[in-house]
Amino acid sequence: MGAAIVARNIARMVETYARDKPPEWRPLIYCWRGGQRSRALVRVLAEIGWRAWQLDGGYRAYRRHVVATLTTLPQRFDYRVVCGLTGAGKSRLIAALAEEGAQTLDLEMLARHRGSLLGDLPGDPQPSQKSFESQLAAALAALDPARLVFVECESRKIGNLQLPDALLTTMRASSCVRLDTPASLRVAMLKTEYAHFIDGPTGFVERLTHLTPVYGKKTIERWREAATRRDADALVAELLERHYDPMYTRSLAQNFPRAATALVVHANDASEANFRALARDVIDRTRAHAPATV
């Protein structure tokens, strides 16, 4: 019975998924424990002419490998944690650092989330926890332990995804780079990054209701009215002042003690050229502190 089921599945895969693949296609085949099912498919694909590979031990062994990697590998790197108030441009600086040749770990890109109550990306759902961990393990494995790794300051969770304890613990003990940005510029950049909420305030209002237990119905209603009439400047400024800035400041002091002695850079405008210049400045000022040995 098992052989018949496997044979039907192999026929379906060959007739659908594999039929248009080029001769140089080299698929990696796995099942739960890397046994007979995946071996049978590898053999059939090899007879057709494709160089198929079987994942030794199957997906179960791969998951053990990912979990083990995320327990030990994060501790091999010397991180510089980019911190700064909400809207300061931390993600922009991480991207600029990568463009300038620095080594970066972009956790929010891997998580498909900006890391706040309003941080989900429209039309781009977050991966599963297991998929996120697989991508994170691969990203860490591609880094060079002899070079600094710039990473954005994050809480334990990015949206619905949780960071591995080993990575979070190491980041929290690391030196920091603080990005200081004027409030007016932070508001302007946030309006650009969250334009989908400003243009379609229904989702914005829905998210704000989650803050009702903290600020009360009257405040939330006032914010709802501001969002509805698209008074974004005043609303974003007040949200930063009353909610995001105090919360971020407390969290940073509690979880990243070395932020108090951080290297400080200032953003004066939102242009790519300005952030590239900031990135070069950060690289120059941190280069002398890179680890000499692995």
Domain 74-289 part of CATH 3.90.920? no
Q: What pLDDT is recorded for position 292? A: 40
- The alpha carbon torsion through 165, 170, 176, 181 (nearest 10 deg) reads -10
Here the tokens at position 12 are 């379906």
CA 198 to CA 205: how far, in whole Å?
A: 10
Catalytic residue among 31, 83, 153, 176: 31
Q: What pLDDT is recorded for position 275? A: 96
Q: What pLDDT is recorded for position 201? A: 63
CA 104 to CA 86: how far, in whole Å?
A: 20
Q: What pTM was computed for the model?
A: 0.86
CA 129 to CA 190: how far, in whole Å?
A: 27
Catalytic (active site) residue 31: yes
* Local mean pLDDT, 10-residue blocks, the chain (294 residues): 90 94 94 85 95 92 96 97 95 96 96 74 84 97 96 93 97 96 93 73 73 86 82 86 91 94 94 96 81 38
Q: What pLDDT is recorded for position 294? A: 32
Q: What pLDDT is recorded for position 122? A: 63
**What is the widest separation between alpha-carbon atoms in the chain?**
70
Q: Are 129 and 161 in contact (CB under 8 A)?
A: yes
Instruction: List the chain domain ranges.
Output: 2-56, 74-289
- Burial environment of residue 168 by CB neighbours within 10 A (0 to 12, 13 to 18, 19 or more): middle
Q: How far is CA 247 from the centre of its chain?
A: 21
Which distant-in-sequence residues (6+ apart) come within 8 Å of 233 by Cβ?
187, 191
- How many Cα atoms are found within 13 Å in the side-chain-facing hemisphere of 144? 10
Which distant-in-sequence residues (6+ apart) come within 8 Å of 91 by Cβ?
106, 108, 114, 152
